[in-house]
Amino acid sequence: MSNLKRILRPNGVLLLTTRSKGFPYHGYPYDFWRYEVDDMKTIFSDLSVEVIETDPLSPGVFVRATKPAMFSERNLDAIDLYSIVTRRRCRDVTGLEVTVRRWRHKARLFLSRMRGLGRPASARGNIRD
């Protein structure tokens, strides 16, 4: 988030969408965090926030904010966010937690593919004209 703020020009507009708790783990490229409206209010309190609202179709948040000409970044080090990896609010995730989560995700995909192989080809969508 700090990098987004840093590269934004003074008076530049930030448009951001992100996922909230309740959105499933997707695993690629990296899926660590879920953001709520209150998190976005805190994170972007150093910008001029115009809109922060929930996504009406899927758990998520939309943000529109402008970087003030006289910008001073808020320190975000003490903010706990909901981690999809640890399933709790925290400040960081370890490499081991991420690796375990990825392997679980890959194992689930593998097992679902293996279960699909027991179905007829027509049910798997492999019929060619």
The DSSP output letter for 9 is P
Please tell me the predicted confidence (pLDDT) of residue 129: 42
pLDDT at 122 over 70: no
HEC states along 40-91?
A: HHHHCCCCEEEEEEECCCCCEEEEEEECCCCCCCCCCCCCCEEECCCCEEEC
Q: For the stretch 27-48, what's the b/e string if a residue is b when 16 or more beta carbons lie within 10 angstroms of its beta carbon?
A: beeebbbbbbeebbeebbebbe
Phi, psi of 16 (to 5 degrees): -140, 135
Sorting pLDDT into bands at 50, 70 and 90, what band is 31? confident
The pLDDT tens digits for 34-93 are 999 999 999 999 999 999 999 989 999 999 999 999 999 999 989 999 988 888 898 887
CA distance 53 to 66: 16
Sorting pLDDT into bands at 50, 70 and 90, what band is 128? very low
The pTM assigned to this predicted structure is 0.71
Determine which helix (DSSP H) or strand (DSSP E) holds 16, and give its type and residue range.
strand 13-19
Determine which helix (DSSP H) or strand (DSSP E) holds 34, and give its type and residue range.
strand 33-34
Contact 43, 2 (CB under 8 A): no
Please tell me the predicted confidence (pLDDT) of residue 70: 94
Please tell me the predicted confidence (pLDDT) of residue 101: 67
